[in-house]
């Protein structure tokens, strides 16, 4: 994944360190790769869920996040509003670990021989995560586009040995109360985009 597309982009060619963390009861423990956390910008979001949990978030590509105890399946998932972001927490002690944020990448072996992604109509419902695609002229169903998860937002409070006072020196506040998530096509890849209005929440 191109780390320049993370909410807090990594410097090009940045050297990464391995950080560890976990919940209070230690059922969920993890490690992840990230440039020096104190040299990066952490994000404090004021959306309704982040504000209630007091989260300060750092971000890493999903392939650079690994469980050393527990798994995604062992965590409880909570979604709201757009239902695109999966907020994860330990079902035993309730500590918020972070969130999975989706990206939509078409299968490499699927190619349109006529028409384009822009010419296909799409329909979503309920969770609004799966995109149902159909021909806008005849209505024939082409198929569905199912997201993979591109990056992980990690609650920095769960990182072992974190110095929150030091981290807050590079803290950026994000107005998540006016943040909505949608998907746009960028270079053949459908990915979440950020737009601002007066009503949306994550």
pLDDT in tens, 12-49: 888 999 999 999 999 999 999 999 999 988 988 888 88
Identify the CA nearest to 106 among candidates 182, 190, 183, 187.
Answer: 190
Model confidence over 105-129: pLDDT tens digits? 544 456 778 887 778 887 877 655 5
For position 65, what pLDDT does the model report?
94
Which residues on adjacent β-strands are paired with residue 59?
Answer: 153
Would you list the domain boundaries of the chain?
Answer: 3-102+148-178
| 167 — pLDDT class (breaks 50, 70, 90) | very high
For position 115, what pLDDT does the model report?
82
Question: Residue 96, class by beta-carbon neighbours within 10 Å (0-12 exposed, 13-18 middle, 19+ buried)?
Answer: buried
Class of domain 3-102+148-178: mainly beta
Q: What is the number of alpha carbons within 13 Å of residue 135 lying toward its C-beta?
A: 9
In this predicted structure, the answer to whether residue 195 has a pLDDT above a threshold of 70 is no
Who has greater pLDDT, 83 or 104?
A: 83
Whether the full predicted model's pTM is greater than 0.75, yes or no, is no
- Average pLDDT value for the chain: 79
């Amino acid at each position: 994944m191109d780390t320049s597309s993370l909410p807090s982009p990594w410097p090009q060619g940045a050297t990464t360190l391995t950080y560890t963390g976990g919940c209070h009861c230690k059922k969920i423990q993890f490690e992840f790769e990230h440039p020096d956390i104190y040299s990066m910008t952490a994000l404090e979001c004021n959306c309704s869920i982040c504000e209630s949990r007091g989260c300060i978030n750092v971000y890493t590509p999903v392939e650079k996040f690994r469980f050393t105890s527990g798994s995604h399946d062992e965590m409880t998932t909570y979604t709201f509003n757009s239902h695109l972001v999966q907020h994860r927490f330990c079902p035993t002690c309730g500590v918020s670990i972070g969130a999975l944020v989706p990206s939509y990448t078409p299968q490499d072996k699927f190619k349109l021989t006529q028409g384009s992604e822009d010419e296909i109509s799409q329909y979503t419902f309920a969770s609004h995560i799966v995109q149902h695609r159909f021909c806008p002229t005849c209505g024939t169903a082409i198929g569905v586009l199912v997201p993979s998860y591109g990056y992980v937002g990690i609650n920095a409070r769960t990182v072992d040995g974190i110095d929150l006072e030091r981290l807050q020196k590079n803290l950026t506040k994000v107005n998540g109360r006016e943040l909505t998530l949608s998907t746009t096509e960028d270079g053949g890849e459908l990915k979440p985009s950020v737009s601002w209005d007066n009503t949306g929440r994550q």
